[in-house]
């Protein structure tokens, strides 16, 4: 009998949660390694080593695949896409982090093909005595990204799912129209513009499936071409990778002339002609399946650089081009892996909650409709856990109303 990989099977959720706990642990460690002057390459290598070590500790002796669902990537200030340099590219291998720049850390683990990916943006501290308070444009960027992300998560909940009241009121709520992709984008742009920021064009959230992080459904913000339009809607039983990208500039993107180091296998089969290409693909299939990987994770990095050329040309592999903000403006990104259940959103792999009390700005969201949505919970309260959720929810509203007067209650 085939295994049920839907969320109806409790084992599925357990595997997702196990991979998420690994992703969280490694994200926390990698965030600590990101300091002024640290080499990006070294951080990525250490992150992947820790992912491998943590994955090896779970589901021992079970005949299931497990590993990395997304290699450790550390993207400097204006970089939008995940960035992971190679040791054999001397110039890029020397890339270091700089004080006060927003750095995007993305990584993930998978158990039995059920992957969670998480991305967080952190600001590199200028000195060790930094008390963590942030002001100016950096504060605007972090708050805009945080609230835009929180809004998008709430807009993904099917209408009426968390409705309370009489049966008639619940039916009425369920009959409400979902916001269109255009409406979702407009609302998110309103949040970004409140902080004089812009949504990054082409920011895409994907349906996650077993062994697949780009499923049949997607939500695309500010699509750049006809092919990248929103398809399908989030439904109960789905697992999504929800992405938010915000820029201090225009939000326009450009592809830069740097070697793409991140690749992923496609579903296309092709008889590769070169033995080196076949050897590289064989190693990729064995180690990574259909999940993204960095060329530096392969046994021989130099051979891999040669071996992937034919694979990409024949579309057996997809390469992820490196994109930055068109104006080289700082960019922040978040990625949250969520499960949509009958009780709302379960955040499987999520960046840590932003302590908004530490971000000082005179800007704020004034749109009443958006403020009302941000007040709503993302899940139904269940027992004691519900009380904690309510406590956490209040401060977010207070912070939106008045960033300056936020207190320690919000931590």
Q: Is the pLDDT of residue 384 over 70?
A: no
Q: How far is CA 345 from the centre of its chain?
A: 16
- Least confident segment among 72-76, 149-153, 387-391: 387-391
Nearest to 113 by CA among 304, 289, 353: 289
Residues 6 or more apart in contact with residue 268 via CB below 8 angstroms: 314, 315, 316
pLDDT at 404 over 70: no
116 in Cβ contact with 109 (< 8 Å): yes
What's the average model confidence in pLDDT over 10-39?
97
Spatial separation of the C-alpha atoms in residues 217 and 220, rounded to whole Å: 10
In the predicted structure, residue 403 carries a pLDDT above the cut 60 = no
SS3 string, the chain, reads CCCCCCCCCHHHHHHHHHHHHHHHHHHHHHHHHCCCCCEHHHHHHHHHHHHHHHHHCCCCCCCCCEEEEEEEEEECCCECCCCCCCCCCHHHHCCECCCCCEEEEEEEEEECCEEEEEEEEEECCCCCCCCCCEEHHHHHHHHHHHHHHHHHHHHCCCCCCCCCCCHHHHHHHHCCCCCCHHHHHHHHHHHHHHCCCEECCCEEEEEEECCECCCCCEEEECCCCHHHCCECCCCCCCEEEEEEEEECCCCCEEECCCCCCEEEECCCCCCCCCHHHHHHHHHHHHHHCCCCEEHHHCCCHHHHHHHHHHHHHCCCEEEECCEEECCCCCEEEEEEEEEEECCEEEEEECCCCCCHHHEECCCCCCCHHHHHHHHCCCECCCHHHHHHHHHHHHHHHHHHHCHHHCCHHHC
Lowest average pLDDT, out of 103-117, 219-233, 247-261, goes to 219-233
Give pLDDT, residue 129. 63
CB atoms within 10 A of CB 384: 7
Average pLDDT of the segment spanning 36-42: 97
Residues 6+ apart with CB under 8 A from 328: 77, 78, 249
pLDDT at residue 389, rounded to an integer: 41
pLDDT of residue 219: 96
Which residues face 103 on adjacent strands?
Answer: 122
Its pTM stands at 0.91
Residue 273 C-alpha from the chain's centroid: 36
CA distance 327 to 229: 24
Contact (Cβ atoms closer than 8 angstroms) between residue 70 and residue 62: no
- Please report which confidence band the pLDDT of residue 394 belongs to, taking 50, 70 and 90 as the band edges: very low
Q: Are 234 and 320 in contact (CB under 8 A)?
A: no
User: What's the distance, Cα to Cα, between the start and end of the chain in Å?
Assistant: 48
The crossing angle, in degrees rounded to 10, of helices 40-56 and 10-33 is 150
> Does 118 have pLDDT greater than 70?
yes
Per-residue confidence band for 383, with pLDDT thresholds at 50, 70 and 90: low
Q: Which pLDDT score is estimated for 370?
A: 98
pLDDT attached to residue 131 = 75
Q: Minimum mean pLDDT among 71-80, 155-164, 234-243, 325-334: which range?
A: 155-164
- C-alpha distances out from residue 303 to 56, 61, 281, 300, Å: 27, 32, 11, 5
pLDDT > 70: what percent of the chain? 92
153: pLDDT strictly greater than 80: yes
Q: Given this model, what pLDDT does residue 68 score?
A: 97
**pLDDT score of 258 more than 60:** yes
In the predicted model, what is the mean pLDDT of residues 188-198? 98
Instruction: Indicate if the pLDDT at residue 176 is higher than 70.
Output: yes
Separation of alpha carbons 383 and 123, rounded Å? 36
How crowded is the C-beta side of 113, counted as CA atoms within 13 Å?
12
Render pLDDT for 275-308 as a digit per residue (tens, 0 to 9). Answer: 999 999 999 999 999 999 999 999 999 999 999 9
Separation of alpha carbons 107 and 350, rounded Å: 11
Question: How far apart, in whole angstroms, are the C-alpha atoms of residue 83 and residue 397?
Answer: 34
- Beta pairing class for 114-123 and 102-111: antiparallel
Per-residue confidence (pLDDT) for residue 132, from 0 to 100 = 79
């Amino acid at each position: 009998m085939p295994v049920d990989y839907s969320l109806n099977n409790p084992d599925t959720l357990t595997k997702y949660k196990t991979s998420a706990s690994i992703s969280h642990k490694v994200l926390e460690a990698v965030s600590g390694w990101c300091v002024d002057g640290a080499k990006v390459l070294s951080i990525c290598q250490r992150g992947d080593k820790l992912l491998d070590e943590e994955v090896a500790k779970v589901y021992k002796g079970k005949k299931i695949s497990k590993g990395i669902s997304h290699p450790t990537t550390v993207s400097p200030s204006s970089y939008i896409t995940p960035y992971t340099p190679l040791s054999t590219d001397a110039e890029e291998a020397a890339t270091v982090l700089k004080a006060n720049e927003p750095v995007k850390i993305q990584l993930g683990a998978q158990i039995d093909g059920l992957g969670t990916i998480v991305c967080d943006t952190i600001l590199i501290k200028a000195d060790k005595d930094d008390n963590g308070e942030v002001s100016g444009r950096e504060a605007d960027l972090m708050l805009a990204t945080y609230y835009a992300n929180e809004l998008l998560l709430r807009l993904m909940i099917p209408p009426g799912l968390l409705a309370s009241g009489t049966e008639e009121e619940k039916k009425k709520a369920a009959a409400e129209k979902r916001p269109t992709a255009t409406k979702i984008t407009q609302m998110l742009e309103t949040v970004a513009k409140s902080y004089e920021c812009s949504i990054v064009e082409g920011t895409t959230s994907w349906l996650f499936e077993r062994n697949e992080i780009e499923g049949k459904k997607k939500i695309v913000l500010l699509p750049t071409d006809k092919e990248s339009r929103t398809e399908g809607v989030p439904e109960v039983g789905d697992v999504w990778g929800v992405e938010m990208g915000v820029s201090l500039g225009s939000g326009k993107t450009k592809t830069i002339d740097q070697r793409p180091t991140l690749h992923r296998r496609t579903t296309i089969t092709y008889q590769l002609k070169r033995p080196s290409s076949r050897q590289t693909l064989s190693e990729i299939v064995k180690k990574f399946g259909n999940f993204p990987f960095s060329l530096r994770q392969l046994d021989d990095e130099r051979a891999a650089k040669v071996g992937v050329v034919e694979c990409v040309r024949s579309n057996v592999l997809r390469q992820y081009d490196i994109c930055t903000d068109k104006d080289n403006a700082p960019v922040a990104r978040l990625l949250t892996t969520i499960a949509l259940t009958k009780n709302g959103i379960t955040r499987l792999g999520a960046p840590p909650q932003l302590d908004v009390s530490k971000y000082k700005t005179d800007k704020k969201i004034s749109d009443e409709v958006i403020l009302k949505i941000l007040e709503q919970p993302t899940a139904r309260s269940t027992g004691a856990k519900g009380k904690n959720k309510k406590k956490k929810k209040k401060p977010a509203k207070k912070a939106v109303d008045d960033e300056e007067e936020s207190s320690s209650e919000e931590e």
